[in-house]
Structure 1
Amino acid sequence: MSTERSSAGDPARTLRLLWREPGADTRRGPRQGLSVERVVAAALDLADADGLGAVTMRQVAGALGVVPMSLYTYVPGKAELLDLMLDTVYGQMSREDLSGKPWRERLTAVAQANRELFDRHPWVAEVATGRPPLGPGLMAKYEHELRAFEGLGLDDVAMDAALTFLLGFVSAAARSAAEAVAVRRDSAMSEEQWWAANAPLLGRVFDQDGYPTAARVGSAAGAAHGAAYSPDHAYRFGLERVLDGLGVLIDGQPEGSGATTS
């Protein structure tokens, strides 16, 4: 999977567009009737259908029925457009009320909301967000997710680090799931079909006596998942281990710090 990165455009122009600051290039064209919102919506449709590679200024213009140069009235280029796309889908995420729930349920809900984001918009997993788009969608997402860690006795730096750790796992799981989908698509074979085609050859060349542990464990995992790798199982197993690890941090807070372990 190719990787693009957010915040790669002109920061001043991007921030003005993200926050729709007065004076930003959001005016309507005299004939096209376009807007930043329409441009972003067209780009999202292309990315959701065909991946980020399909999102070029020319392709977006074609989807809107205008000439490519007309888009630059609204968005300076693809880098800024990508930030607008990300911030838009962040703003559309569900914001479940997490108040009063045990901390593991709160963190599980945060993880699940992000997993659903990747399911709806697989291209998001291709974007490196070490410098995130600092728009209202991202800020609403960050505010909501941080509240899942309130009352656990963590200081502000630890809260941010714990959230980053949790979301890093979800992002990695999403990338692995997307890669599995790409492999099936490119090979035009399901996992079962691929193993059925290769099992006879493997049976002839693989020495089970030489690799007894691999033979035993691989057979058990393959039988359980119907494949060598199950994205759903990997996500469920990994999330529990992430929560277990955070539990060590949370449960280890000094008594009276306000941490809860429910």
Structure 2
Amino acid sequence: MGEYCLHHSQEVAEVAERTGTGDPLQSIALLWGTNPRTGRSPLTLDAIVEAAINVAAEIGIDKLSMRKIADRVGVGVMSLYQRVPGKGELIDLMVDHVNGCAYDTDEPPDAASGWRSAMEEIAARNWQLFLQHPWVLGIDTSRPPLGPGTTAKYDLELTPLIGIGLSDVETDQVLALILEHVKAAARVSLGVAETAEATGNDDHDWWATAGPLLAALIDEKQFPNASRIGAASGAQYDSAVDGELQFQFGLRMILDGVEQLIASK
């Protein structure tokens, strides 16, 4: 899939960019290579996308600019615009490429043990995608990049849900629900890591100080639910939150619900 499937750590930004903001005709032409833009520079579109992904990984999607990408590849910013009309189209290319790198092969996850185990594998792959490319969490993809990487990923991830009793719309909704859950849990997990880096102490150290103090201040009679459940959760997490546990628990609840939906038909 190319060298720029590699990753670097970087901050998880709030939504700073959106796919689908560029000219859709130009974006689709670039994604599918139907009308490639050419210029005097030997710089390739792949090299630009690679540089953009590396810069976003290092400084965050919110700080990404065409000038910084141009500096990375050693050309003037106008040379970039000869290949890519704008940042909106480039964001589409970046996300589509990462989506295309999500799976090592074009084979769907093994559904031999049933659709549920296959969807667990798909969820795990997407969990790893966000951990490897946290800058993607700073991009709203409600208008997905309509390129070959995103299309192949979507088609592959739908495969285990075909023929299990869901309608086409239900199939799409189940996959979307799983992927959005993974995205939310990944944001929690990576947010914890960012806070630890910013403060110089991890959540376990913070909770070791804050937990007992909070327990002493909260009146069990005034806040019976918060005191009991908060204490139990804090003891389990050794922190206030646990993104990975949230990921696993929520996924199990979603898949349980899908099983009930299928059984009800």
Q: TM-score, normalised by structure 2?
A: 0.87
* 2:66 maps to 1:70: no
Aligned positions, number: 249
For 2:215 and 2:14, the matched residues in 1 are separated by 35
Q: How does 1:141-160 map to 2 (within 5 A)?
A: 141-160=153-172
The C-alpha deviation readout for 1:58-102, integer Å capped at 9, x for no partner, is: 111111111212110111111111100000011111154424331
2:70–2:76 contact (8 Å) kept in structure 1: yes
Among 62, 70, 76, the residue aligned to 1:61: 70
Partner of 1:45: 54
Among 178, 182, 190, the residue aligned to 1:166: 178
Partner of 1:185: 197
Shift of 1:161: 1.4
Partner of 2:36: 24
Cα gap change, 1:222 to 1:162, in 2 (>3 Å): same
Q: After alignment, is 122-131 or 33-42 more displaced? A: 122-131
Shift of 1:213: 2.9
For 1:200 and 1:165, the matched residues in 2 are separated by 37
For 1:97 and 1:236, the matched residues in 2 are separated by 18
Partner of 1:6: 19
For 1:99 and 1:229, the matched residues in 2 are separated by 32
Q: Secondary structure at the match of 1:124?
A: helix
For 1:199 and 1:216, the matched residues in 2 are separated by 13
For 1:70 and 1:122, the matched residues in 2 are separated by 28
Shift of 1:122: 0.6
Q: TM-score, normalised by structure 1?
A: 0.88
Among 148, 151, 154, the residue aligned to 1:136: 148
For 2:189 and 2:18, the matched residues in 1 are separated by 20
Cα gap change, 1:248 to 1:198, in 2 (>3 Å): same
Q: CA RMSD in A?
A: 1.8
2:192–2:203 contact (8 Å) kept in structure 1: no
Cα gap change, 1:106 to 1:48, in 2 (>3 Å): same
Among 88, 103, 107, the residue aligned to 1:79: 88
Q: Secondary structure at the match of 1:140?
A: helix
Partner of 2:128: 116
Shift of 1:188: 2.6
Q: Give the percent of matched residue pairs that are identical in Structure 1 and Structure 2.
A: 38
Report the residue type matching 1:220 in the other structure. A
For 2:211 and 2:36, the matched residues in 1 are separated by 60
Report the residue type matching 1:176 in the other structure. V
Q: Secondary structure at the match of 2:50?
A: helix
Q: Secondary structure at the match of 1:160?
A: helix
Q: How does 1:167-246 map to 2 (within 5 A)?
A: 167-199=179-211, 201-203=213-215, 205-246=217-258
Partner of 1:248: 260
Q: Secondary structure at the match of 1:162?
A: helix
- Larger Cα-atom Rg: 1
Q: Secondary structure at the match of 1:148?
A: helix
Q: After alignment, is 95-104 or 71-80 more displaced? A: 95-104
Q: Secondary structure at the match of 2:161?
A: coil
